[in-house]
Amino acid sequence: MNTEIQNIKQRFQIIGVHSGIDRAIEKAVRVSPTDITVLVTGESGVGKESFPKIIHQLSHRKHNKFIAVNCGAIPEGTIDSELFGHEKGAFTGATTSRSGYFEVADGGTIFLDEVGELPLTTQVRLLRVLENGEFIRVGSSKVQKTNVRIVAATNLNMGDAISKGKFREDLFYRLSTVEIKIPPLRDRKTDIILLFRKFASDFAKKYNMPTVRLDDDSQRILQNYRWNGNIRQLKNITEQLSVLEKERSINGQMISSYLPDPKSNLPALISENKNESDFSSEREILYKILFDMKKDLNELKKLTNNLKKASPNDREKLDELESFIPQKFNDIDNSKTENNLIVNETFENKNDKYSFAEEILEEETLSIQDKELELIIKALERNNGRRKAAAKELGISERTLYRKIKQYDLEL
């Protein structure tokens, strides 16, 4: 088996001597000849995508299609169509019928990456495929059959997802007939240097430059680092060192400058019941500001609507609006108050107040959108355009981030 594992590593470019990796490969080899459904688990960036390829290539399905689907990257409104297909006229824009992945991959293998992100309605459809191989196109009533082997992967704690009602328990047990767990990089200390050397050699060839090498101190730092981003993060650091450093011998001081503060890598437990003093991070503070602004805008809209319905003699509501507008704008944005608002301004008639209030509503709505756009752009820049990592930082799902990127027409 050891020789076979070594051959698999060479064929699929898997680097490492850790026993956890060897065990994962051994499991993949053993289940390949069967049609057993497999669930690959592990943190983001550990290399889960290699194991479905191993299973497919060593199976009797290897001459048929292998389709990899990132479930977290497909918008919720279209994922059923992508997986199961749709009929002409099933929804707006469906000008022709379309075959889904389960129809196209008949006889082959489908890899459902980030399966934990599937909507509950799609989970029901997937469960039916797993139970009897049947599916129905969107907009159709005709039951179709498919002979597809499913390999899924997730970085979520499925127990938590099930307890929170985000993932069906029966589907989980169907998917995890065999579970292959990939260990995180921080548990594979002996593999870290091997991986660095492989990446350094690859980047040296790619950029036509000498290979960077680590001294003893830098090796110790890499092996003791937490590596929250796992292999993906290590590869990113290696590429930066290869391109940016003039010296080809990397010491401890040089490598430390490319690694985030180790203290920031410790996991933080955040209570779901936050009070005002809990918003310590920049992201949380900005989101709290946005939520407060939305609340203020709703109050202002309500006052404006009441004022429009009021009689000309209803001075009480008029005065209330007059005092409310400058006060809220002082709270939301002092610079706007100084530049755009004259607190003691006198209005000649009630219509001026209507116009002023509506102008403020429109202006602040745009302000909220600007702040949201700014947060999204910064998160994407900090994560080098990786949507999944940016969505995690923003505290939203990847599908929501995908919709926001389309809404603001961001070019990545």
Q: Which domains does the chain have, with CATH numbers?
A: 2-183 (3.40.50.300), 190-265 (1.10.8.60), 276-407 (no CATH)
- The distance of Cα 106 from the centroid of its chain, to the nearest Å, equals 29
Q: Over 80: is that where the pLDDT of 174 sits?
A: yes
The structure's pTM equals 0.64
Residue appearing with tokens 């608002």 = 341
Sorted by sequence, the CB contacts under 8 Å of residue 145 that are 6+ apart come out as 133, 134
Average pLDDT, the chain: 82
**Count of beta carbons in the 10 Å neighbourhood of residue 82:** 18
Both structure tokens of 233: 């993060």
Q: What is the pLDDT of residue 410?
A: 76
| Average pLDDT estimate for 39-51 | 96
Say which DSSP state 156 is in. S
86-100 pLDDT per residue, tens:
999 988 888 999 999
For the ranges 183-187, 260-264, 327-331, the one whose mean pLDDT is highest: 183-187
**Count of beta carbons in the 10 Å neighbourhood of residue 292:** 13
Q: Which of 289, 267, 312, 304 lies closest to 370, judged by CA? A: 289
Sorted by sequence, the CB contacts under 8 Å of residue 95 that are 6+ apart come out as 88
Element containing residue 153 per DSSP (H, E) = strand 149-154
- Contact predicate 84/137, CB 8 Å: yes
- Contact predicate 60/376, CB 8 Å: no
The rounded distance, in Å, linking the Cα atoms of 286 and 32 is 49
On the 0-12 / 13-18 / 19+ scale of CB atoms within 10 A, 128 is middle
Sorted by sequence, the CB contacts under 8 Å of residue 303 that are 6+ apart come out as 317, 320, 321, 324, 357
Q: What share of the chain is helix, strand, coil (3-state, %, to 5)?
A: 55, 10, 35
Cα dihedral sign for 333, 338, 343, 346? negative
Q: What is the pLDDT of residue 380?
A: 83
Order of all β-strands in the sheet with 149-154: 66-70, 109-113, 149-154, 38-41, 178-181
| Average pLDDT estimate for 185-205 | 96
| Average pLDDT estimate for 214-240 | 95
Higher confidence at residue 3 or residue 304? 3
- Contact predicate 70/61, CB 8 Å: no
Q: Which of 210, 211, 215 lies closest to 200, judged by CA? A: 211
| Angle, vertex CA 146, rays to CA 143 and CA 152, nearest 5 | 120
289-331 pLDDT per residue, tens:
666 666 666 766 666 666 656 655 555 555 555 555 545 444 4
Among the listed ranges 40-44, 62-66, 112-116, 322-326, which one has the minimum average pLDDT value? 322-326
Q: What is the pLDDT of residue 194?
A: 96
